A and B are shown apart, each in its own frame.
Chain A
């Protein structure tokens, strides 16, 4: 159980390090970095290369945006297997529906509970 946490921390942390290095050393805007992570996740998901990383890192692999791309790719693959080519259109968002809706709900709850503040640093 401790090893689960440790690997989640290491793998999730490594994605954060990559993101921070891209911010500090390249001219890529945060938006471009995030989109790149999603696209990379789609690629790693489609090629099944990400499966062992998810197996090892759990939430550390699926929570970062790369995991979102992975979920999109996995969703499309499963939907195509089940429904044929129409799955290309239906599979991605249905697989991501839980994550997207949860994020919207949390954002709404936080914005109702708290007043926006100033940024400190």
Chain B
């Protein structure tokens, strides 16, 4: 069993393995720089379904089934499935996973769900109370637009700071210690509110949470930024990443040396006209499960701190004039 290092940080003694993983994405993501890393690229964003919400469920199921297949597992081998998404009541997860007979634990962490689900799944496996635990999440551009802004049919214009919700799903299966990648430690973040009210600038809203969780994790595990070859945030985008660097510069730490952001990695910012970069649960999920975990398994990356950030607002709260509180969860994934 692991240790509680305080302030949300747990270090794992047994270090569970992420035994198999898969990423399923939409056509736009399939034209981006990481296209070759994804297990499945949909030809059409609707995946043949009648509604965008059903399309997102289909994408999640695709990622899940592919991860099972890659790991030589069947749904009977899975002890628990931890899943969530951006939609009201997490419907794309619930409606997709009703096809499976697996104990379901629904999570809401907004865009931090991949880190949150991976961390919780790892805790269950580390404690010896689960054999194979699945972490699963997704987002879909059109479903998210309908949820948070306007249906795409409305034809509204996007601002320069806006991010593009990734149509993508990522699934990671966590099992007792075996082959790399290993989950060595996690930090569950606290809710952080920078007072940002602009729903078109979520990168700025989330940068404070990322800074706080990363700093807490480094302090509690007694590591520094040089202990990692990559500290990757979920979707701060260009604007949010810049703010993150500023926050760390105040501590005289230059995090830009090891930092990357999934929202900037998944799209060609210039060529694909995505303004400030990608966002959504599926952003960090597909980059983690399509690219980063593979790099660690092949020992090209040794120590990665995966920090997905989530903006915990709802359209109702924004209309009531509230600001956007955020949370960030960190997972240390290593090659040995």
Contacts and interface: CB of A to CB of B under 8 A. Distances in A.
Interface stretch (B154-162, B287-295, B303-311): B154-162
Given A118-B141, A119-B152, A121-B273, A30 B198 contact: no
Q: How large is the interface on B (under 10, 10 to 19, 20 to 34, 35 or more residues)?
A: 20 to 34
A98 to B, nearest CB: 22
B200 A119 contact: no
Interface in B250-279: 272-274
Contacts of A119: 141-142, 145, 152
A116 B152 contact: yes
Nearest to B45: A118
Contacts of A24: 159-160
B46 interface: yes
Interface residues of A, number: 13
Interface in B196-235: 198-201
Contacts of B141: 118-119
Contacts, number: 33
B152 A118 contact: yes
A27 B200 contact: yes
Nearest to B160: A24
Given A27-B198, A27-B200, A29-B200, A121 B156 contact: no
A29 B198 CA distance: 9
B273 A30 contact: no
A18 interface: no
Given A27-B200, A29-B200, A118 B160 contact: no
B316 interface: no
6 contacts: A24-B160, A27-B201, A29-B200, A116-B152, A119-B142, A120-B28
Given A24-B159, A29-B199, A118-B28, 6 more contacts: A20-B157, A27-B200, A111-B153, A118-B141, A119-B145, A121-B273
